Amino acid sequence: MNTSSTPQDFDFLIGHWKVSHRRLKERLLGCTDWERFEGRCRMWPLLGGLGNIDDNVLELPTGPYRAASLRTYDPATRQWAIWWFDGRNPHRPDPPVIGGFAAGVGEFQCDDELRGQPVRVRFRWSGITPTTAHWAQAFSADGGQTWETNWEMDFERLPEAA
């Protein structure tokens, strides 16, 4: 992906958000059963603008948990790295997805494993406005030839007092 990324790419996400989640119950098993739940997100910059972090509350049907995203920008490569930390297993961050933005869409990928099998992971940011944004995660078991979207988040900006 040819990117035109800058350290300001994620500035749209600074602040407080209501997040509507839609997630497949099973991944890469042909499942079509989605679960829906709400959440909240608060993001702020760090590293003098070369990074940011967000704190998330996910209201899963089985009970809430917290998670965090850490994003850092490399001016030399003009790419972002994004790590996801799950509060239920805080000592094992997911492998970072790497990428950037082009034409208003951010795409980030990495190699990972699911049930002991290699998968390609893709995060995609789109529909970015001052008050909304959309995030989607997809997995590929065939090296990126085909993708299964398994998690989507729709962000709605909340007043700063939230």
Quote the pLDDT of residue 3. 67
pLDDT tens digits for range 30-79: 999 999 999 999 999 999 999 999 999 999 999 999 999 999 999 999 99
162: pLDDT confidence band, cut at 50, 70 and 90?
Answer: low
Q: Say whether pTM exceeds 0.85.
A: yes
Whether residue 2 has pLDDT greater than 70 = no
- What does the domain layout of the chain look like in residue ranges? 11-25+36-157
pLDDT tens digits for range 118-132: 999 999 999 999 999
Whether residue 161 has pLDDT greater than 70 = no
Architecture of domain 11-25+36-157: Beta Barrel (2.40)
Strands (E), 75-131: 79-86, 97-102, 105-114, 117-126
